[in-house]
Amino acid sequence: MTSTQDASPHVPAAGSLAAAPGPEWWRTAVIYQIYPRSFADSNGDGLGDLPGITSRLGALAELGVDAIWLSPFMVSPQNDAGYDVADYCDVDPIFGTLGDFDAMLATAHGLGIRVIVDLVPNHSSDQHRWFQEALAAAPGSPERARYIFRDGRGEHGELPPNNWESVFGGPQWDRVSEPDSTPGQWYLHIFDSSQPDFDWTSPEVREEFRRILRFWLDRGVDGFRVDVAHGLIKKEGLPDYTPPADGDSMGGDDDDVPYWGQPGVHEIYRDWHEVLAAYDGDRALCAEAWLPTPDKTALWVRPDEMHQAFNFPYAMTDWEAPALREVITESLRAFPAVGAPATWVLSNHDVIRHASRLALTGESPQGEGIGPLSPTQPIPGLGLRRARAASTVMLALPGSAYLYQGEELGLPEVVDIPDAARQDPTWFRTNHEKYGRDGCRVPIPWEAAAPAYGFNETGASWLPQPAEWAEHARDVEARDPRSTLSLYRRLLSERRAHGLGAAPFAWLEGYSDDVLAFRVGDVTVIANAGSAPVELPAGGILISSEPFEGRMLPTDTAVWLARD
């Protein structure tokens, strides 16, 4: 372990490049992220919903995924697209009802698909009953103790308690008016001002989240994706902190960021581990913890904590073979070393879709997004070619992989969303300086010729869909053996047939630096991230990310070869 955090007795001796042992489903699963507002809209209001999801689950069974993860659909004013929860145990009417959720869950289970829901424990909405009670109560009251209220600095408390900057821009503090209308205390929000952070030193907060976990476990969910799982505990005294200028706003690039990865966070997950362990069926917790290395991320998945953690160091690696080789090697060492599976992910609702991100003309730090006036733009065509190769590599790797809705269609980031349609709080909190994440959240296309490409029957869409998306519609791609959808179907079916999720992994020697070459189980994978064609070793081509003739693998192409 390279981290200075929480040196603990839970870490067994380091393993080698091996898949983690054990039969639990989450060790090898391919998990498909549904962003409910953009997946399928049953009532035509332009916003996806739970009955819409239920109606389209058949397509995911056909694709061959093992599980789905749903971004939040709980009661919320939607200031951060549902990551601002006002009631953790009910469905927001814009998405349906608890009955619709139960029907969706039963349909998914009937198709053999497990269901993970999103849990947002770092902060609630400011419309949550508890926060409203805190505002109405006095400083020092039990109601305020559930959140992080502090007196301000300065003679009259007119300055925020410290200098922390919100992930979405601006300060992490807002000042409240006390019930008697005088300027009062400040409350902490790592994200938007409508997302006050809970105080996780409060026993009441801890008990409430045990209750919330059990509420969804009792309904039959198979696990939770835990939002901002590295942020719940803040360093005592809330000391000032200035992040490095080029740092990633979500990740502690520094070793000791007072609001990311504080050691005290781990006991919360040990507690939750116990809550889940009391249920049958291998229920799982997956950490959304933005940490700079696999070693640091692995601290969240020690045997008595969470089961999986997103591998963001992998997701953020460019299409460069040496860097990919390093992060894959590190991941296949660090996660199994603590008894956990490695995980793999290339896209989600917070990052530029990888069909655009892997061929940008310049940098675009995570969360900033790209828009029509960004100096950095995707290179048309190249991004999709690289994305298909990158997914062909990812889906061969042992462990568990996450897909984000629409990547199986090769969807690009939507760059030219009109300013008036943008909704990400980042856009507003940075005075339109950062475009934010709307470009990866546009409702996905199902049928080329239908209104809103089959997202619904009315043609309404909460973010406008680009005219070029007809070619990416699922019905078009399903008919085309060369489409990205056909590629993903093959990858998932061969991955399963060859048991790659749990197969032993080894790098192959003798290739140039810009080639990834490895064996996993009985499959050989070669990916060419360089500029010259690469001669393939023996073995019939099982899958190729692009069509080509002969045995010379073109640039930006990946293949799976069957062992002779």
What whole-number distance in Å separates Cα of residue 421 and Cα of residue 306? Answer: 37
Find the binder of ligand NOJ among 49, 66, 80, 100 (CB under 6 A): 80
Site string for ligand NOJ, 460-489 (x = CB under 6 A): ------------------------------
Residues numbered 282 to 341 that lie near ligand NOJ (CB under 6 A) are 288
Q: Least Å distance between CB 348 and ligand NOJ?
A: 7
Residue 350 makes contact with ligand NOJ by CB under 6 A = yes
Annotated catalytic residue: which of 84, 92, 197, 288? 288
Report the residue closest to ligand NOJ, judged by CB.
Answer: 83
Residues numbered 388 to 427 that lie near ligand NOJ (CB under 6 A) are none
Q: Least Å distance between CB 83 and ligand NOJ?
A: 3
Residue 143 makes contact with ligand NOJ by CB under 6 A = no
Residue 227 makes contact with ligand NOJ by CB under 6 A = yes
Separation in Å, CA 6 to CA 2, 186, 264: 11, 30, 8
DSSP string, 342-363: -EEES--TTS--HHHHTTBSS-
Residue placing its CB nearer to ligand NOJ in the complex, 226 or 553: 226
Tokens encoding 258:
């007072």
Residue placing its CB nearer to ligand NOJ in the complex, 194 or 465: 194
Residue 30 makes contact with ligand NOJ by CB under 6 A = no
Find the binder of ligand NOJ among 88, 164, 187, 191 (CB under 6 A): 191
Q: Least Å distance between CB 288 and ligand NOJ?
A: 6
Question: Contact at 8 Å (CB) between 68 and 108?
Answer: yes
Is 207 an active-site residue?
A: no
The torsion region of residue 452 among left (phi > 0), alpha (psi -120 to 50) and beta comes to left
Beta carbons within 8 Å of 411's beta carbon, 6+ residues apart: 353, 355, 442, 444, 445, 469, 472
What whole-number distance in Å separates Cα of residue 194 and Cα of residue 174? Answer: 10
Find the binder of ligand NOJ among 75, 228, 444, 452 (CB under 6 A): 228
Instruction: Count CB atoms within 10 A of the CB of residue 355.
Output: 28
Helices (H), 358-483: 382-394, 425-429, 474-478
Residue placing its CB nearer to ligand NOJ in the complex, 120 or 134: 120
Tokens encoding 532:
């010259």
Residue 248 makes contact with ligand NOJ by CB under 6 A = no
Is 118 an active-site residue?
A: no
What whole-number distance in Å separates Cα of residue 545 and Cα of residue 388? Answer: 6
Site string for ligand NOJ, 119-138 (x = CB under 6 A): -x------------------
Classify residue 241 as exposed, middle or buried by CB count within 10 Å of its CB (0-12, 13-18, 19+).
Answer: middle
Q: Least Å distance between CB 550 and ligand NOJ?
A: 44
Tokens encoding 381:
């065509």
CA angle, residues 50, 51, 52, in degrees to nearest 5: 85
Q: Least Å distance between CB 350 and ligand NOJ?
A: 5
Annotated catalytic residue: which of 84, 227, 407, 424? 227
How many chain residues are in contact with ligand NOJ, going by CB under 6 A?
9
Beta bridge partners of 149: 187
Q: Least Å distance between CB 46 and ligand NOJ?
A: 20
Residue 83 makes contact with ligand NOJ by CB under 6 A = yes
Tokens encoding 349:
């609702």
Residue 212 makes contact with ligand NOJ by CB under 6 A = no
Question: Contact at 8 Å (CB) between 521 and 501?
Answer: no
Residue placing its CB nearer to ligand NOJ in the complex, 426 or 524: 426
What whole-number distance in Å separates Cα of residue 521 and Cα of residue 355? Answer: 28
Residue placing its CB nearer to ligand NOJ in the complex, 191 or 312: 191
Q: Map 365-393 to HEC letters.
A: CCCCCCCCCCCCCECCCHHHHHHHHHHHH
Q: Least Å distance between CB 408 and ligand NOJ?
A: 20
Q: Least Å distance between CB 216 and ligand NOJ?
A: 17
- Using CB under 6 A as the criterion, which residues of the chain lie in contact with ligand NOJ when the complex forms? 80, 83, 120, 191, 227-228, 288, 349-350
Catalytic residues: 227, 288
